[in-house]
Amino acid sequence: MNIGITELLFILGPLTFISWPLLSLATLVALRRRQMMAMPQALWALIILVIPVLGSAAFWLVRPGEDG
């Protein structure tokens, strides 16, 4: 069985639409649990809300507020 580009997009579209808010929500929860000053935490939250996918990816890559 071959899957064409149309079928692939038909499957990936809804998955992306569902996972994008879940990723942002999980990132905001993780941000809330971090020990950070108020201003950097607010800036991270703003970045995550304005640019959800890139903001979340940046947060998980940079890992702000972690010791070590």
**Predicted confidence (pLDDT) per residue in 9-53, tens digit:** 888 888 888 898 999 999 999 999 999 999 999 999 999 999 999
* Total structural domains within the chain: 1
Residue 41 lies in a domain: yes
Torsion angle defined by CA atoms of residues 43, 44, 47 and 48, in that order, rounded to the nearest 10 degrees = -150
Residue 42 lies in a domain: yes
Q: Give the Cα separation of 48 and 23 in Å (integer).
A: 10
Residue 33 lies in a domain: yes
Confidence (pTM): 0.77
* Residue span of the structural domain in which 44 resides: 23-68
Residue 8 lies in a domain: no
Residue 59 lies in a domain: yes
Residue 9 lies in a domain: no
pLDDT of residue 43: 97
Q: Give the Cα separation of 57 and 35 in Å (integer).
A: 19
